[in-house]
Structure 1
Amino acid sequence: MAKKSTQSSSNITNIRLEHFKGDALAISLFKNTTKLPTQYESLDRQTGGLITRALKLGDATGQANQLTVLYMPEKMPFQRLIIVGLDDPKEFKTNTLRQAAGTVARVAAKLKISSLGLAIHLLLPDTLAPESAAQTIAEGAIYATYKYSEFISDKNNNSLKLVFVAPTTANFDRFKKGFITGSIIGESQNYARNLTNKPGNIINPPALASEAQKIARQYGLKCKVFDEKQLVKMDMNAILAVGCGSIKKPRLIVLEYNGKKSTKKSATPDAVIIGKGVTFDSGGLSIKPTDSLVTMKNDKAGACGTLGIMTALARLKLPVNVVAVVPAVENLLSSTCYRPDDIIRTASGKTVEIVSTDAEGRLILADSLTYATRLKPRAIIDIATLTGGCVVALGNDRAGLFGNNESLIDKINTAAENAGEPLWPMPSGPEYLERMKSKVADLKNTGGREGAACTAAAFLREFAENIPWTHLDIAGTDTFSDEKPWRGTGATGFGVRIILEYLRSL
């Protein structure tokens, strides 16, 4: 029987450290700390000097994500004290705090702790605002505790309650605001991860559309779903071509969030977010090797992230107008699938020669970009697991950032650094478009292996027209195959924090 995946709940309290009631309390230390910080003096006395002793013995080194677990005297209201390292204070970055929170939360989950107090912010520099500190801790801890276990029958159903502990009333309201924000962002990102992790026999284009309608009802969003008959009338021939090989026909999903009070019937969107939604990608007639077929359920990561962003916008009540556009298709082999040598007239009127049916993402994004440009938004941002070339270029640590507007590129890149999801700006100029020109059509859908991420972005750029546009190629960052102290494996939800950080800055 399918069951819900592991999640956590969160809360905030104003209480002295030594009075916290729960299973464990977490605090932090910077690298090379030898003297007990004044913030921990009262707690240390109540524990009989256990923190001081750990420092003298060198057990608590303060190195990044290094953990020391101290077991408390029976008189204490919590059983364990967990000390996590924040590394060198001179090189402190917000993401160090995010990872530290995740490291603590994952250890707590493994120890089957039910209630974890988080007080790892007490030594942070004054330059980090209370709201930012609490938000970062919530994001890191909630992200870390997620585990996809929907189809595992025999599993640990332990639920971890996270409690942000503020020992004084100073800045309590600001901490509370930040922790609530971080909790919403973390939960929305985990929602995206959970949806991405679902296999292709569960999530197909109509099922993804139903999920969008569900969250629209839940969060008060406007939702339109265009089926294959409507897509024909809209000349969305690229979307139709990619999806024609499956009995689960394509859908174009449009969600709308209006956070600005406007008297106009149709408010100008501050942004249109486009998420690539290939619910399973076999490659079509240009079929993928067997090993490459595994994990192709993740080719909908951009779409799932986009849905996660929309749930967060509604919960955060941000004063922005945002439209989400999700082309949902299944790229399969059949007697009705599209072929190499086909020529498709896209919704924009531009024609595209098909060289490879495995270069399908850019086709459905092309029609979606045309839909987006007709809304005349201030910006368009697309998120897509687009090219293996981006993985070759950047590996799994950064996603590629492309665009036609330097100001927007800079804003998205800044948002990425703040969100702890790093990007790397890459070119998509006319020299790359030259490789995408066809002898029998306006464009072709692949320009070869060399510079593949850049040529794919140059192709997309042709459909963004003159509207500021950025493209996030998340092909290398959409999934984790290895564990880290601060997070597990599976879908990442990469891009959710970036786009929300950008929208919150508007």
Structure 2
Amino acid sequence: MEFLVSTASASRQRTDCAIVGVYDKGVLSAAAADLDARIGGRIAKLVKRGDLRGKTGDAVLLADLSGAPVERVIVIGLGNRSAFKRKQYRKALASALAMVAKTGATDAISYLGLDEIPDADAYTQARVAVEVVAGSQYRIPDHKTSNKRPKPSLTKFGIAVASRGDKGQAERGLAHGEAIVSGMAFMRDLANQPANVCTPSYLARQAKALANDYKKLNVRVLNEAECKRLGMGSFLSVTEGSEEPAAFIVFEYQGAERSQAPVALVGKAVTFDTGGISLKPPAAMDEMKFDMSGGASVFGTMKAVAELELPINVVGIVPACENMPSGRATKPGDIVKSMSGQTIEVLNTDAEGRLILCDAITYSRRFKPEVVIDLATLTGACVIALGNHLSGLFSNDEELSAELKAAGDRADDRAWPMPIGEEYGEQLKSNFADMANVGGREGGAITAACFLAKFTDGLRWAHLDIAGTAYQAGANKGSTGRPVPLLVDYLINKK
């Protein structure tokens, strides 16, 4: 897909498809009025006849526009003018693109942002547009042998800006948006693969292939023997029952001087989670192929960072393994020793994500990171608390928490600050080890974060529980690409 910025008016720009808006009560936007004068008042006639009221969700396609510079016009209802903000802009674009997909248009230009949008400047409008276009065209890498979905005909999409002074800002938004959607697509492709394809070894190969594409990106993959020598008893306890070998994947992106402390991203990558001996119920167990979404989001973010050549250093750490039941599998009540030296009583083998993350967080210390951010589909409890709309955000640093929340707000990939505290940590006490890996049902997302916090002394650390946001279930089952937008926005705006 090619993206561009247009400074020409709607009545002068040649395109296969112009997208303009009409507000509630049939009030034409500035671009719609400009184009309408060129096409013989056809939009105004629709309004006058009552066929277009400008309500949110209205959509009309106009064709056969002889003498006009455009082949087609898609008119989108924008709703109340005073309420038209970034969220409504995103929805209007999505409606327009759904209609574009039903035509043979190979290029289109949106004029939906020419009127002022209070919370979306030219940069934001362009970035959002790229994300919406890419989302409309993303195709799950399916394994069907028939009924393949045809490729979209749209190959070029333009964003119109009100003045030439906005062009540079919009072009920057397009560049950032393209990198973000590239990272999101990479994450989604990995997460949407079945677990018999996307194994830890597959992730390792994908990591090496990614590093080959970017000169500033390097990768190292530690095998189980190397992890054992490093004392990663907690990580290795999860993979004990699997025939698939684990892989500990380490990315290093150098965009600044080596003396600059990196941001460390740590992503849980359990490529399939049966629950181990604490076996999950069979209903929806197929969705546990998405339990590597934290790791996949690190892959996607590293790709976006490398594409943008950001002037920072970033480390990505992805402990990858399966959690399977077998005669060798870790049993409830077993005690394991983490890389930090702390011992853990494994009361529930289905609370395995924290067991691999704690060793990965400890490993991150060797890079002397400025901050450590871990990402995991960690707890169903977080889904109960926040639903599928917001990721859970836990941190031992208020400034870092605020920066991540702000990044999520800007990226429309929101996270919500959650508490951690000693009173919750008390639930992790064990009679036999330094700690247990679960603390009961109450506050489950919080006690999971408190467990990880026990390995973060001296670190500026944040934990994102993405169990409710990284993928969708049901008829639209598949990866969402979140939280790549949040992470890339945070890194773009890193001071």
The answer, yes or no, to whether TM exceeds 0.5 is yes
The corresponding residue for 1:307 is: 299
1:166 aligned onto 2:160: yes
Structure-1 separation of matches of 2:354 and 2:118: 45
CA gap of 1:456–1:9, structure 2 versus 1, over 3 A, is same
Structure-2 separation of matches of 1:198 and 1:480: 14
Give 1:52's match in structure 2, choosing from 44, 48, 60.
44
The corresponding residue for 1:156 is: 149
1:100 aligned onto 2:92: yes
Structure-to-structure mapping, 1:40-189, within 5 angstroms? 40-111=32-103, 113-125=105-117, 128-153=120-145, 154-159=147-152, 160-166=154-160, 169-189=164-184
1:328 aligned onto 2:320: yes
Comparing 122-131 with 181-190, greater Cα deviation is found at 122-131
CA gap of 1:59–1:188, structure 2 versus 1, over 3 A, is farther
Give 1:229's match in structure 2, choosing from 225, 245, 250.
225
TM-score with structure 1 setting the length:
0.91
Structure-2 separation of matches of 1:169 and 1:406: 40
1:244 aligned onto 2:237: no
The one-letter code of the counterpart of 1:492 is T
Q: Deviations over 1:309-366 (max 9, x none)?
A: 0111111121111111111011112222211111010001111001111110010011
CA gap of 1:397–1:128, structure 2 versus 1, over 3 A, is closer
Structure-1 separation of matches of 2:472 and 2:102: 19
The one-letter code of the counterpart of 2:392 is G
The corresponding residue for 1:292 is: 284
Comparing 96-105 with 398-407, greater Cα deviation is found at 96-105
The corresponding residue for 1:505 is: 493
The one-letter code of the counterpart of 1:142 is A
The corresponding residue for 2:473 is: 481
Structure-to-structure mapping, 1:321-360, within 5 angstroms? 321-360=313-352
CA gap of 1:107–1:39, structure 2 versus 1, over 3 A, is closer
1:460 aligned onto 2:452: yes
Structure-to-structure mapping, 1:270-281, within 5 angstroms? 271-281=263-273
Give 2:31's match in structure 1, choosing from 32, 39, 45.
39
Where 1:290 maps in the other structure, the secondary structure is coil
Q: Quote the offset at 1:241 in angstroms.
A: 1.0
Which one scores higher on RCO, CA 8 angstroms, separation ≥ 6? 1
CA gap of 1:367–1:105, structure 2 versus 1, over 3 A, is same
CA gap of 1:438–1:107, structure 2 versus 1, over 3 A, is farther
- Contact 2:272/2:289 (<8 A) preserved: yes
Structure-2 separation of matches of 1:72 and 1:412: 49
The corresponding residue for 1:283 is: 275
1:255 aligned onto 2:251: yes
Residue-pair matches, total? 490
Structure-to-structure mapping, 1:411-430, within 5 angstroms? 411-430=403-422
The corresponding residue for 1:205 is: 200
Structure-to-structure mapping, 1:17-32, within 5 angstroms? 17-30=10-23, 32=24
Give 1:389's match in structure 2, choosing from 356, 367, 381.
381
Structure-2 separation of matches of 1:64 and 1:191: 32
Structure-2 separation of matches of 1:437 and 1:217: 45
CA gap of 1:351–1:225, structure 2 versus 1, over 3 A, is same
The corresponding residue for 1:5 is: none
Structure-2 separation of matches of 1:79 and 1:302: 44
Q: Quote the offset at 1:169 in angstroms.
A: 3.6
Q: Quote the offset at 1:80 in angstroms.
A: 2.7
Q: Quote the offset at 1:119 in angstroms.
A: 2.4
Structure 2 residues not aligned, in runs of 5+: none
Calculate percent identity across the aligned residue pairs: 35
Structure-2 separation of matches of 1:298 and 1:151: 17
- Contact 1:28/1:123 (<8 A) preserved: no
Structure 1 residues not aligned, in runs of 5+: 1-7
- Contact 1:238/1:344 (<8 A) preserved: yes
Structure-2 separation of matches of 1:198 and 1:65: 33
> How much is the aligned-residue C-alpha RMSD, in angstroms?
2.1
Where 1:17 maps in the other structure, the secondary structure is coil
Q: Would you identify which runs of 4 or more consecutive aligned residues in structure 1 move more than 6 Å?
A: none
- Contact 2:9/2:31 (<8 A) preserved: no
- Contact 1:254/1:325 (<8 A) preserved: yes
The corresponding residue for 1:4 is: none
- Contact 1:479/1:490 (<8 A) preserved: yes
- Contact 2:85/2:118 (<8 A) preserved: no
